[in-house]
A and B are shown apart, each in its own frame.
Chain A
Amino acid sequence: MELSFISSILFATVVAGTPLIIVALGELVTEKSGVLNLGAEGIMSVGAVAAFATAHHTGSPLLGILAGMGAGMLMSLLFGISALTLMANQVASGLALSIFGVGLSAFIGKPYESIALASVTPIRIPLLNKIPLLGPSLFEQQGLVYFSWVLIAAVAWFLYRSRSGLVLRAVGESPVAAHSIGYGVVRIRYQAVLFGGAMAGIGGAFLSVFYTPMWVEGMVAGRGWIALSLVVFATWRPMRVMIGAYLFGGCMITQMFVQGSGARISIPAQFLSSLPYVATILVLVLISRNRSTIRINSPASLGQPFLPDA
């Protein structure tokens, strides 16, 4: 295999993994506060259509990202009102949000279905992009790819090195204890939910403005659900989310390269397309198989509503 092949596999892997990383990290923070928001698929859809429409009308991809983020926050606010203020069942609220979001995006997006956006030129990072092999695949990417790397570091630092991260985790572990020492559990959970919504919105924006610069109903195609399961299989650790996302993207791209090489290898196509899922789950389960790590990392109050006066 030529070097340029490896380089293009790497490039495509990073692109395919990026929306998963962004969305999964948002969900990770949400879940760390003890809230299970299953609405990622719907939020991504609405984020994607909002970003596409804005980028189309203003001509600015950056404004598109901001619109996607805003739309994502609005959607997650809906979830917050239902699950945090009205204390409806989180699983049911999240599922409803997913179904609602996918439908709403199709409704809003109708007039935009026939439009194609110009593709956005990637940002080249000088010097770094001259590194052989890695340079062109890692440092000639879209801005949101770099953003996803910063996000990993930021989320890891926030959760494990900052005071507010500690508070957030405390809320997720034992809301009653956090409440009794004076932290506003519901307020903190709202913030976490909004952050998760913002990231899912940006993930959607990445799909419709950068990845495939167009809008069609159903274009998120299950990526929201993949991001959700990544969080669980990565046992709520940011670095593992990244490993999982790239592994998933990598397997998907590599199997395509094998097929497209014209090499005479006879493997069932169904197996090849299930490979990303199987490999990702397998690897993540293996690196997180220690029971106590799962217990330590999984937020103890996940999915349970909190009644401040109780």
Chain B
Amino acid sequence: MKHRNLALASMAGMALLASTALMAAEPVKVGFVYVSPVGDAGWTFQHDLGRKQMEAAMKGAVTTKFIENVPEGADAERIIRQLAQDGNQIIFTTSFGYMNQTEKVSKAFPNATFFHATGYKTGKNFGIYNARFYEGRYLNGVIAGKMTKTNVAGYVAAFPIPEVMQGINAFTRGMKSVNPKAEVRVIWVNSWFDPGKEREAAMTLISQGADMITHHTDSTAVVQAAEEKHKEKGTWSFSYHSDMTKYGPTTQLSGTTHIWGDFYTKVVKQVLDKKWTGTNLWGGLKDGMIKLAPINPAVPADVKKAVEKLEGEIRAGKFHPFAGPVVDQDGKERVAKGKDMTDAEMGAMNYYVQGVASTLPKK
């Protein structure tokens, strides 16, 4: 299919004697900018899986290149500019802090197309994309609520930005929806990546009674910690970014994983076919941008079924994890009954919902 489309596109190009014919004959260069090393799990690893999937799907039509460990800020601009100068026609920048730099370079190279993950600025040749991670979190929370014995879940989190808040709150709402006695405790480690700290935070939560553990940090340390404490404390975990079954073979109940490959393939094709008209996508389960990690056999069949049903409802747009009433920790109603939270409201989320036991650190 994909090959035929490409062939058609190149034929059309040749007929018009346009330069697209040359482009289709010679693989188009696609560049990726990563904020951390690819590693074996985590945010960047998932983007790299997406890159590989896209390259395989567009075999022969594109060659890809990535630059890892690029600090956010001024350095990023140099790297993005370099990629554009080297003839990369499509450039993906995969961290929030590249937003302004990507925008700037996109203006200097009007013939290339730029995509930026998790930002909010767009342009003529500059699209943005992000995923509704909170949908997966809600479903994880439902499993946690059913499986917990202590009614306490522990959450190791990096920084109190809206994306992380959405995850914590969605998880809490999922858990509370099936277990009114449940509470979620949060430890902020103030770092995206510090395996030692992440592990200590997980161990702290476990020793304080949490038997469901999850994280919004980048390493596998939290899942490993739960695996280690399983015999003694009956701990289970939910992974984030990647499926971490390898690190928690018996104790990872599920997780929220990021899937970028389908999206990359789709937009790269659009650009090559000259059909791209701009991207501003916040995709979720429906768009295949996130997926639940495999559900552990330890989860009873009826729970699994209920989660799958709920997943179907989210996909179909019948259920929203932040469907009103949404009440925050202090009892203030944030979304009224009968309404769903809007994307703008989610994008500005800076409070805990009811059910989170910890207090949000002040700014």
Contacts and interface: CB of A to CB of B under 8 A. Distances in A.
A211 B363 CA distance: 31
Contacts of B37: 106, 217-218
Contacts of A256: 187, 189, 200-201, 204
B246 A259 contact: no
B154 A216 contact: no
B250 to A, nearest CB: 13
Interface bracket on A: 35 or more
B185 interface: yes
Contacts of A213: 224
Interface string A242-286: 000000000011001101111111111110110000000000000
B246 A265 contact: no
Given A113-B40, A267-B361, A260 B208 contact: yes
Contacts of B203: 8, 12
B162 interface: no
Contacts of A261: 185, 208
Contact of A114 (B40, B186, B196, B360): B40
A227 interface: no
A211 B207 contact: no
B357 interface: yes
Given A259-B188, A266-B359, A5 B208 contact: yes
Given A214-B220, A218-B37, A256-B201, A116 B196 contact: no
A4 B186 CA distance: 20
Contacts of A259: 185-188, 358
B224 A212 contact: yes
B117 interface: no
Contacts of A223: 196
A207 interface: yes
A219 B152 CA distance: 29
Nearest to A13: B200
B204 A265 contact: no
B258 to A, nearest CB: 18
Nearest to B198: A212
A221 B191 contact: yes
B201 A207 contact: no
Contacts of A217: 37, 39
Most chain B C-beta atoms within 10 Å of own C-beta, residue among A212, A218, A266: A212
A207 B221 CA distance: 12
Contacts of B160: 269
Contacts of B194: 221
Contacts of A106: 37
Interface string B128-163: 000000000000000000000000101000001000
A60 interface: no
Contacts of A12: 200, 203-204
B199 A268 contact: no
A119 interface: yes
Interface string B334-363: 000000000000000000000001111111
B40 A216 contact: yes
Nearest to B194: A221
B263 interface: no
25 contacts: A8-B207, A15-B200, A116-B246, A211-B199, A212-B195, A212-B224, A216-B39, A216-B40, A216-B220, A218-B37, A219-B195, A223-B196, A252-B197, A252-B200, A253-B200, A256-B201, A257-B208, A259-B358, A260-B204, A262-B208, A262-B357, A264-B359, A268-B362, A268-B363, A272-B361
Given A116-B224, A253-B200, A260-B210, 13 more contacts: A12-B204, A15-B200, A16-B200, A114-B246, A212-B221, A216-B39, A218-B36, A221-B191, A221-B196, A252-B197, A260-B358, A262-B358, A272-B361
Interface of A: 4-5, 8, 12, 15-16, 106, 113-114, 116, 119, 207, 211-214, 216-219, 221, 223, 252-253, 256-257, 259-270, 272-273
Interface of B: 36-37, 39-40, 152, 154, 160, 183, 185-191, 193-197, 199-201, 203-205, 207-208, 210, 219-221, 224, 228, 246-247, 357-363
